[in-house]
């Protein structure tokens, strides 16, 4: 059974975290994340949520509290946005390197300076190399489902998970969504699992200064050095894609939703041209696709649901042999081009039948993305036919 609600994206995330059975919440307010953790704070204060809410003086401390809680055997959760995520950067590396199964919602927002409270993906893009799994949501239902699955995934692979959704476009808008019953959600997530939780009866030496080369421990077992530990994290990140598919398949059997946890395709079966995007922008591109289909253009949309680990194999299988791929994104790697565009080009480069590919930077700092503008950009790219260098859309100088 499930309940049908109409609520904000932030409240949808809070409800999902509550259903997952969180034990500890630590957070510092920042727009547009604040209503999410305020809701959790209200429930803790009223006794509706049996958890500890730790009010801290900074985002760095918020993730530090969650790191300690997770290591001590508690299911921990936090959320942030923009410069708050950047303030956590050191702790992001620590949480991933320590292999702690945390979940954090990032309500995506532009990064200062200059200050902006509006949406783009630059905050998450800037932290893509910290070792976290990064998932992106397109609507409120995906926020609910992804947060619940994120706890299961983090605890299965011992890697923290970042659930991203667009500030204001999703965080503050109201949409209908289904919410699982608490007993069903708790049964799906299960009890907290972290095999190295601190235990005085079974002491372990964790995260001490690590030598470059492998060496024997006190019992004569060969243990990896720093590089070996990093290699293990890299391998487990790649494996997490398979684990996510298994978790999603079980979620689908249990709740009747899911089925495309890594890439979600729309009208791509016969598509010669594929539009690629993340977050709510992928939904907007469906309108462009439908219009072009009416004009006889064989076009479709591919929503990238997992950005890290980068789903190289899945993207090659979905896009190799197409005529043209156009990437629309709300973030970039400064001094180069769009990060998703760059990553996608790298995995398609070695394919003998690689498509022509173009990239478009849109919507930075909340710049309005008109559907008509998207349509015109796609039309122009189709007329040009060749590879399109990373192009800025909506810039007025």
pLDDT in the model for residue 164: 98
Q: Residues 137, 25: one domain?
A: yes
Is 247 among the domain residues?
no
Cα→Cα distances 64→203, 238, 249, 259, 307, Å: 21, 26, 33, 34, 24
pLDDT in the model for residue 385: 73
CATH (domain of 30): 3.40.50.970
Q: Residues 270, 156: one domain?
A: no
Is 209 among the domain residues?
no
Rounded to an integer, the average pLDDT of 163-167 is 98
Q: Residues 276, 163: one domain?
A: no
pLDDT in the model for residue 2: 72
Last-in-domain residue among 189, 206, 237: 189
Instruction: Output 217 or 183, whichever has higher pLDDT.
Output: 183
Q: Residues 179, 281: one domain?
A: no
Q: Residues 157, 34: one domain?
A: yes
Last-in-domain residue among 189, 209, 225: 189
- Least Cα distance to 379 among 349, 358, 363, 355 occurs for 358
Task: Give pLDDT tens digits for 69-126.
Answer: 999 999 999 999 999 999 999 999 999 999 999 999 999 999 999 999 999 999 999 9
List the Cα angle 14/19/21 in 5-degree steps. Answer: 105
Q: Residues 178, 277: one domain?
A: no
Q: Residues 27, 162: one domain?
A: yes
Is 140 among the domain residues?
yes
Rounded to an integer, the average pLDDT of 331-336 is 94
Domain of 326, in residue numbers: 263-392
d(CA 96, CA 92): 6
* Number of Cα atoms under 13 Å in the Cβ half of residue 18: 23
pLDDT in the model for residue 386: 73
Q: For the chain, how many structural domains are there in total? A: 2
Is 289 among the domain residues?
yes
Q: Residues 163, 58: one domain?
A: yes
Q: What is the largest CA-CA distance in the chain?
A: 71
Report yes or no: 81 and 123 within 8 Å, Cβ to Cβ.
Answer: yes
Instruction: Return the residue matching tokens 């809701």.
Output: 39
Last-in-domain residue among 142, 157, 189: 189
At 99 the three-state DSSP class reads coil
- Least Cα distance to 128 among 339, 338, 313 occurs for 339
d(CA 9, CA 167): 9
Task: Give pLDDT tens digits for 200-254.
Answer: 888 877 787 888 888 887 788 888 899 999 999 999 999 999 999 999 999 999 9
Least confident piece of the model among 16-20, 212-216, 305-309, 349-353: 212-216
Is 248 among the domain residues?
no
CATH (domain of 337): 3.40.50.920
Report yes or no: 307 and 128 within 8 Å, Cβ to Cβ.
Answer: yes
Residues in a beta bridge with 326: 275, 358
pLDDT in the model for residue 96: 98
Q: Residues 276, 360: one domain?
A: yes
Report yes or no: 322 and 331 within 8 Å, Cβ to Cβ.
Answer: no
Q: Residues 12, 110: one domain?
A: yes
d(CA 164, CA 179): 19
d(CA 41, CA 46): 9
Rounded to an integer, the average pLDDT of 30-38 is 98
Q: Residues 267, 184: one domain?
A: no
Mean pLDDT, the chain, whole residue set = 95
Rounded to an integer, the average pLDDT of 349-365 is 94
Q: Residues 140, 34: one domain?
A: yes
Task: Give pLDDT tens digits for 364-396.
Answer: 999 999 999 999 999 999 988 777 778 999 887
pLDDT in the model for residue 1: 57
């Amino acid at each position: 059974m499930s309940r049908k609600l109409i609520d904000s994206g932030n409240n949808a995330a809070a409800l999902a975290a509550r259903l997952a059975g969180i034990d500890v919440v630590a957070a510092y307010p920042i727009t547009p994340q604040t209503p999410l953790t305020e809701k959790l704070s209200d429930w803790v204060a009223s006794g509706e949520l049996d958890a500890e809410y730790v009010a801290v003086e900074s985002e760095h401390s918020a993730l530090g509290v969650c790191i300690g809680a997770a290591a001590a055997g508690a299911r921990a959760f936090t959320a942030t946005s923009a410069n708050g995520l950047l303030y956590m950067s050191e702790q992001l590396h620590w949480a991933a390197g320590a292999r702690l199964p945390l979940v954090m919602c990032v309500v995506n927002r532009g990064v200062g300076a200059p200050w902006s409270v509006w949406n783009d993906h630059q905050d998450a893009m800037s932290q893509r190399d910290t070792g976290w799994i990064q998932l992106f949501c397109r609507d409120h239902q995906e926020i609910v489902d992804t947060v619940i699955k994120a706890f299961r995934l983090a605890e299965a692979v011992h890697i923290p998970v970042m659930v991203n959704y667009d500030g204001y476009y999703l965080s503050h808008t109201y949409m209908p969504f289904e919410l699982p019953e608490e007993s069903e959600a708790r049964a799906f997530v299960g009890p907290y699992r972290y095999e190295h939780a601190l235990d005085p009866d079974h002491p372990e030496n964790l995260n001490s200064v690590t030598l470059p080369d492998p060496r024997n421990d006190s019992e004569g077992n060969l243990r990896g050095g720093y590089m070996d530990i990093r290699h293990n994290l890299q391998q487990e990140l790649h494996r997490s894609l398979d684990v996510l598919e298994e978790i999603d398949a079980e979620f689908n059997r249990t709740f009747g939703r899911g089925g495309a946890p890594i890439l979600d395709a729309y009208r791509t079966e016969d598509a010669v041209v594929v539009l690629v995007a993340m977050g709510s922008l992928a939904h907007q591109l469906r309108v462009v696709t439908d219009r072009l289909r009416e004009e006889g253009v064989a076009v479709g949309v591919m929503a990238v649901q997992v950005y890290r680990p980068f789903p190289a194999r899945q993207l090659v299988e979905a896009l190799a042999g197409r005529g043209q791929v156009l990437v629309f994104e709300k973030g970039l790697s400064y001094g180069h081009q769009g990060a998703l565009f760059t990553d996608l080009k790298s995995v398609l480069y070695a394919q003998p039948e690689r498509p022509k590919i173009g990239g478009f930077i849109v919507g930075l700092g909340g710049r309005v993305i008109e559907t008509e503008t998207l349509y015109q950009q796609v039309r122009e790219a189709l007329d040009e036919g060749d590879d399109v260098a990373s192009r800025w859309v909506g810039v007025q100088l």
